Structure 1
Amino acid sequence: MSAEPIARLRALRAVTLRSTRCADSGEFYREVWGLRQVETDRDAVWLRGSGDEHHVLQLQQAEQNALGKIAFAVATPREIDAAAARLAAHGVGLVTEPGKLDQVGGGYGLRFADPEGRLVELSAEVEAVVPGDPYGHAAVPRKLAHVVLNTVDIDAACEFYTRVLGMRISDWSEHQMAFLRCNADHHVIAFNQAEFASVNHIAYEMNSIDHFMRGIGRLKHNGITPLWGPGRHGPGSNTFGYFADPAGLVCEYTSEVAQVEEDAWLCRVWRRTPELSDLWGTAGPPSKDVRAHMRGVPDPGYSAWWRS
């Protein structure tokens, strides 16, 4: 009998990015992108959206761009403890044992690595914050929408995240991309088949399509034009506008992500055509420049830099 998934993941909580230009990127996300700074130190900055998560993005100064960590929300510390035992049953070792997390925002959690060396954190009881814009007037990100990762083996990545983490595949874009969910959002993680593991892009959800367009307008007012967009994707039905931060990492504004009804949703395989990558027909296919940014640089994984 196979081991059961380690926990019920409630949401994608936050992402940590290792950045070659941490200070400049911190200013970009704070002053232009619309996130609010929670805390900073010499080589790191933590930023939040307008929602109730303590922070959605941490930037760390590094010699090369890379993924630092993906954090998922779990309901209780008891579930964290149970997840540790289930990880052992799956043959997955722990990087950080269950306990209080010594980090900004605190919480109770654990950490482990996926098969390509990405650091994954499960946490509960992270410090609460009051929503920053409860009426949703400002054209700023509400939450982290999804993380897209390049992988050398899309089938192995999907197998791990479904079997071990209990995620579900919502859709495929042929055999090139897979979209995975942990709640009603169409996807919180997506994998793109590539020649090496790396960060493809990070997406931030705006409250509405009006907020989405006003956010793009604010960037254009600051002299920053989209790498790709605005448009609307087929898989997920979400709007998109892709930009590059000062370190060259790709960030996306999105809105109106499809909501999945578990008992009624049918996973489909989308063809990879310009008409389906942008249903509006306003953005056209991604350019070579967009693809180069999303390709990123080879990410050796947490073991190359992590010190527990």
Structure 2
Amino acid sequence: MSEPVVRLRALRSVTLRSTSCADAGEFYREVWGLRQVEQDTGAVWLRGTSSEHHVLQLQQAERNALGKVAFAVATPREIDEAASRLVAQGIPLVTEPGKLDQVGGGYGLRFADPEGRLIELSADVFAVTPDDPDGHPAVPRKLAHVVLNTADIDAACEFYTRVLGMRISDWSEHQMAFLRCNADHHVIAFNQAPFASVNHVAYEMASIDHFMRGIGRLRHNGITPLWGPGRHGPGSNTFGYFADPAGLVCEYTSEVEQVVEDAWLCRVWRRTPELSDLWGTAGPPSKDVRTHMAGVPDPGYTAWWRG
């Protein structure tokens, strides 16, 4: 078995193509709690309280879709080495390694996974001065994880473990797989579905108190959860799911389980209401939340990418 092309350090950011970029940007800025760092025609970049330049980019589009998922790599040299290894494995580069001409800068490359999702590896991205991540405001600290619907969960897991060196932390029967690249229980999860699409994007709150106060702020703005609050079995993280103005699902979460690498044993969880919500406060996901999480078929980056 070939070695992974790179060592991923963390999940950096996600780009979402949105049918309501302006309204969604206002929602994430004014209600969700992210801070805007840049804006352009049909695009907006938003950050959490950490030093990461941005955790979310929104792009105006004709249909909701994944724009890209960006992972942090330690050095530009590792980016160059990853490029050589990707090509050696027959995986074509969408963007050759070099300085990234984008908001936040950095040095990186891009390639696509088997279902056409654009993956970016980057180093030396601009940092911003951290806000007080453990302070009083109930706002997101960082991007916690991205859940993606896939038409072939085994193929998706094989690619992300073999090529990117991710590890499978747990399974929810053979329906969901939770993958990590650091101590967080998962930064990517795959959900078996009829087609590839965005399931949801989760943002980590500093504590369970921040988590609950964030949900309270949304309720104050007349926005109630699609599902939650509750606590999942896999990952042991709290959850509260909402829909943004484009219908894409966003999640507040906290207390994500931390993996001790040499001691962790991958488990298979049964898909029961008691294990999807250990608190028993949220109940099973409704038809409405399932519909939102199913999304719309995503044809991949080749449908819109212009370089």
- Other-structure match for 2:213: 214
Superposed counterparts of 1:281-296, under 5 Å: 281-296=280-295
Secondary structure at 2:212 match in 1: helix
Q: Do 2:150 and 2:196's aligned partners in 1 also have CA atoms closer than 8 Å? A: yes
Distance across 2 between alignment mates of 1:199 and 1:103: 23
Structure 1 residues without counterparts, runs of 5 or longer: none
Q: Do 1:228 and 1:241's aligned partners in 2 also have CA atoms closer than 8 Å? A: yes
Amino acid at match of 1:48: R
User: How far does residue 133 in structure 1 lie from its aligned partner after superposition?
Assistant: 2.2
Distance across 2 between alignment mates of 1:165 and 1:50: 27
RMSD: 0.6
Distance across 2 between alignment mates of 1:307 and 1:107: 20
User: How far does residue 135 in structure 1 lie from its aligned partner after superposition?
Assistant: 4.1
Distance across 2 between alignment mates of 1:166 and 1:265: 16
Distance across 1 between alignment mates of 2:158 and 2:181: 14
- Other-structure match for 1:253: 252
User: How far does residue 134 in structure 1 lie from its aligned partner after superposition?
Assistant: 4.4
User: How far does residue 207 in structure 1 lie from its aligned partner after superposition?
Assistant: 0.2
Amino acid at match of 1:81: D
- Other-structure match for 1:153: 152
Deviations 1:185-244 (A, max 9, x none): 000000000000000000000000000000000000000000000000000000000000
Distance across 2 between alignment mates of 1:209 and 1:256: 7
Structure 2 residues without counterparts, runs of 5 or longer: none
- Other-structure match for 2:185: 186
- Other-structure match for 1:91: 90
Distance across 2 between alignment mates of 1:90 and 1:193: 26
Amino acid at match of 1:174: E
- Other-structure match for 1:177: 176
Superposed counterparts of 1:50-89, under 5 Å: 50-89=49-88
Distance across 2 between alignment mates of 1:176 and 1:145: 20
TM-score, normalised to structure 2, is: 0.99
Superposed counterparts of 1:1-308, under 5 Å: 2-308=1-307
Amino acid at match of 1:89: A
User: How far does residue 42 in structure 1 lie from its aligned partner after superposition?
Assistant: 1.1
Distance across 2 between alignment mates of 1:167 and 1:134: 27
Distance across 2 between alignment mates of 1:84 and 1:293: 36
Deviations 1:138-187 (A, max 9, x none): 10000000000000000000000000000000000000000000000000
Distance across 2 between alignment mates of 1:184 and 1:26: 30
Deviations 1:105-130 (A, max 9, x none): 00000000000000000000000111
Secondary structure at 2:211 match in 1: helix
Distance across 2 between alignment mates of 1:163 and 1:111: 17
Distance across 1 between alignment mates of 2:299 and 2:214: 34
Q: Do 1:201 and 1:250's aligned partners in 2 also have CA atoms closer than 8 Å? A: yes
User: How far does residue 4 in structure 1 lie from its aligned partner after superposition?
Assistant: 1.1
Distance across 2 between alignment mates of 1:35 and 1:255: 16
Secondary structure at 2:203 match in 1: strand
Q: Do 1:3 and 1:89's aligned partners in 2 also have CA atoms closer than 8 Å? A: no
Amino acid at match of 1:186: H
Runs (4+) off by over 6 Å? none
Secondary structure at 2:81 match in 1: helix
Kindly tell me the number of residue pairs found equivalent between the two proteins: 307
Q: Do 1:3 and 1:86's aligned partners in 2 also have CA atoms closer than 8 Å? A: no
Q: Do 1:28 and 1:246's aligned partners in 2 also have CA atoms closer than 8 Å? A: yes
